[in-house]
Amino acid sequence: MNIEAYNDLVARCKANNVTLVAVSKTKTAGDILALYNLGQKDFGENYVQELNEKYAQLPKDIRWHFIGHLQTNKVKQVVSFCELIQGVDSLKLLKEINKQSRKINKITNCLLQVHIAQEETKFGLDENELNEIFTSLQNEPLNNIQVCGLMGMASFTGDVMQVRKEFSYLKSLFDKYKQLLIVNCRLSILSMGMTADYAIAMEEGSNMIRVGSLIFGERNYKT
């Protein structure tokens, strides 16, 4: 773990009013606890089973963010304790989160994931699909979810101008849709920026970044 890099990042986030989500996928509960003991409370996980195992082992005041692609049949496994589900990429998924949240009398915070990258492999909504979701929510409110903002991932490229363009585009969508007056939609979070591009994201208006390898070192994937 790079404590110096973490402390520098925390200071930078505080100065810019940005929330730091430490991406802890593939890292041990011990690694997470070490960072928690330094004051970190927001952690991001990509895999449902791994998140459930860590939740069971770690302090209950950790704010867990689900940042991966969430399948509808696994929603019920995370809604009870997730602070924020960041990767909502369909109305179907949003409705399932609402359904499972209603069963436990909870309002679940969500971000809508927008596809801004050049890579086809990344998940997310295009602008038309995003508009369709907000139109649907205007006509048929979902009372057990709260759409808190937007999330996106830029292209994996060394072209800084391309990355900046993608983040700028997402910020423009955020500014557009946060003006809407829809029940259970109060857009205040713009989650964009990871280890390789968080500085650009912050310059383009991000107020939440998701950083893993800069803090924890390279990930150890199981073979």
Q: Which residues contact 128 (CB under 8 A, 6 or more apart)?
A: none
pLDDT digits (tens, 9 = 90+) for 14-45: 999 999 999 999 899 999 999 999 999 999 99
- CATH 3.40.605.10: does it fit domain 3-216? no
Does residue 223 register a pLDDT over 50?
Answer: no
In 89-205, where do the E strands start and end?
Answer: 108-115, 145-153, 185-192
Q: Are 154 and 197 in contact, with CB atoms under 8 Å apart?
A: yes
Domain segments of the chain: what residues?
3-216
Q: Exposure of 188 by Cβ count < 10 A (0-12 exposed, 13-18 middle, 19+ buried)?
A: exposed
pTM for this entry: 0.93
Q: Are 208 and 190 in contact, with CB atoms under 8 Å apart?
A: yes
pLDDT digits (tens, 9 = 90+) for 64-86: 999 999 999 999 999 999 999 99
Q: For position 219, what pLDDT does the model report?
A: 63
pLDDT digits (tens, 9 = 90+) for 82-97: 999 999 999 999 999 9
pLDDT digits (tens, 9 = 90+) for 129-143: 999 999 999 998 899
Measure the CA–CA gap between 141 and 159, rounded to whole angstroms.
40
Q: For position 39, what pLDDT does the model report?
A: 96
